Amino acid sequence: MSVKSGFLEKLVARLDRVEPGEIQQIVTRLIQEKGFLENVFEALQEGLIILDPDGKIMFLNRAACQFFGLEPADSLGVKISSKIRGLETLSLNLSSQTFSRDIEVFYPEHRLLNFYLSPIDDPKNHELPLGHVMLIRDNTTSHAETQETLESERLNALTLLAAGVAHEIGNPLNSLDIHLQLLERKIRKLPARERKGLNEHLGTARQEIQRLDTILKQFLHAVRPTTPRREPQDLNAILQQTLELLEPEIDSRGITVDLGLSENMLPARVDPDQFQQVFYNLLRNAYQAIPGDGGHIGILTRSTATEFLISISDNGTGIPPEQMGSLFEPYRTTKSAGTGLGLLIVRRIIREHGGEIEIQSHPEQGTNIFIHLPHTAPSPRLLPSPTIDLQS
C-alpha cells in the first residue's frame, strides 16, 4: 500500500482530465495510506520526528512525545530548537549531512538518548533537502548496564588487590603493635619523669596503627564478597539501637532527631549486623554534614505492598553536583579524616539484600537518602522447558 514514484506528479499533470469520481477514489486512497503510515510510526518504540527545511516539526510520534514531554498540538509547526532544550544549534546542522549525537534530558524523566538526523532528499535539488528525519533511541538502560559492568570490573580488580594489601600491610601492622607492647613494658621500668614524654609518643604511634588497621578492615569489607546472614528482623528496632550508639555525639552537637517509624512494619529478612553498619554510616554522614551546633535529622520508615522504604534526611551542607556522580567510588570523600569507603560498603550491603540506595542532595539545603528493600530477596526462576515434538 505505497504510492508509486511519480504518481503524484502524473496526477497533477492530468488533474483537469480526471473524473470527479476518480478524484474521490484517489483522495480516499491517499488518506488511507497516510493513516496506515501514521499507525506504523506510532507503533515504533523509537522516537520519530519529521522536520521541514527550516527545522519546524511536521510530524512526531508518541514515543518522541514521551521522551521529550511534548504535546503534538503545541509542537506541530514550531521549530524543534524552541521545544527541546539542548538543540539550539541544531538549525546550523540542517543540511544535506547525516549525523548522530547523544543528548541527556531531565524532563519528564531522566534519560540518555541518541538521535540520528538524516535529510530527505529532493530529487530536483540535491543540495537543499525537503526536510529531515530524526530517529531517537533510548539508551538509558544500556548505559546503566554498561556502568554496572564497569563498576563490577572495578570491584573485581579491587578484590584481587585486597589479598595483597592484607598481606603487605596487615602483617607489618601486627609486628609494629607487638614491638610497641615491648616498648611499653620497658617504659614502665623508667622513672616517672622520663616516662611522661615517651608515653605520649607511644600513644600517638598506637593511634596511627589503629587508624591504619581500621582503614584496612574497611577496605577489605568493601571489596570482599560477603553472604548476608538473613533473619527476620525489626528494621525500626535496628535503627533505634544504632541511634542509641550515636546518641552522645548527636546530643553534643545539639542536633534534633525526628523519628517517623511506621507501626505496621513487617519483619524484614536482613543481616542485623550488616544493616546496623548501614544505618551507622548513613547517620554519621548525616550529622557530620551539619555545620556548627544545631541542626535536624529526619528518619522515616514505611512498608508498601512490595518493599520497605527507609529515608534519612539532614539539613546540612549538601553534596555539590559535580560530586554526585562519584559518591560510590572508593577513596572519594569530602571529609578530611574520611576513607571514602563508607558509601561503597553501604551500597554493597543493600544490593546483597536485593535492594537499592538513592541519594538526593542540594548544596546548602541538605541530603535525602532512600533505601528501597524488597520484602523477599529475589530468587532464581526456572524457565519452562522447550516443547519437543516427537512426531516431527
Residue 379 pLDDT more than 80?
no
Cell 560510590: give the residue. Answer: 328
Span 328-355, pLDDT tens digits: 776 555 554 555 567 888 888 898 888 9
- Here the cell at position 385 is 522447558
Higher pLDDT, 267 or 149: 267
- Here the cell at position 198 is 615517651
Residue 169 neighbours by CB under 8 Å, 6+ apart: 212, 216
Span 95-124, pLDDT tens digits: 666 777 888 888 888 888 888 888 887 677
Q: Average pLDDT, stretch 295-315? A: 92
pLDDT band at 3 (very low <50, low <70, confident <90, very high): very low
Q: Are residues 359 and 369 in contact, defined by beta-carbon separation less than 8 angstroms?
A: yes
Higher pLDDT, 340 or 69: 69
Domains detected in the chain: 7-143 (3.30.450.20), 146-223 (1.10.287), 231-374 (3.30.565.10)
Span 191-242, pLDDT tens digits: 877 777 788 888 888 888 887 887 777 666 655 656 788 899 999 999 999 9
How confident is the model at residue 389, as a pLDDT? 46
Higher pLDDT, 383 or 18: 18
Instruction: Tell me the sheet residues that pair with 59.
Output: 50
Residue 11 neighbours by CB under 8 Å, 6+ apart: 18, 26
Q: List the one residue out of 267, 243, 259 whose CA is nearest residue 301.
A: 259
Span 148-186, pLDDT tens digits: 777 667 666 666 666 666 667 777 888 888 888 888 888
d(CA 303, CA 31) in angstroms, rounded, equals 53
If one counts every other C-beta atom within 10 angstroms of the C-beta of residue 342, the result is 20
Q: For residue 255, which phi and psi values (nearest 5 degrees)?
A: -95, 135
Q: Are residues 53 and 130 in contact, defined by beta-carbon separation less than 8 angstroms?
A: yes
Q: Is the peptide bond before 119 cis (omega within 30 degrees of 0)?
A: no
pLDDT band at 391 (very low <50, low <70, confident <90, very high): very low
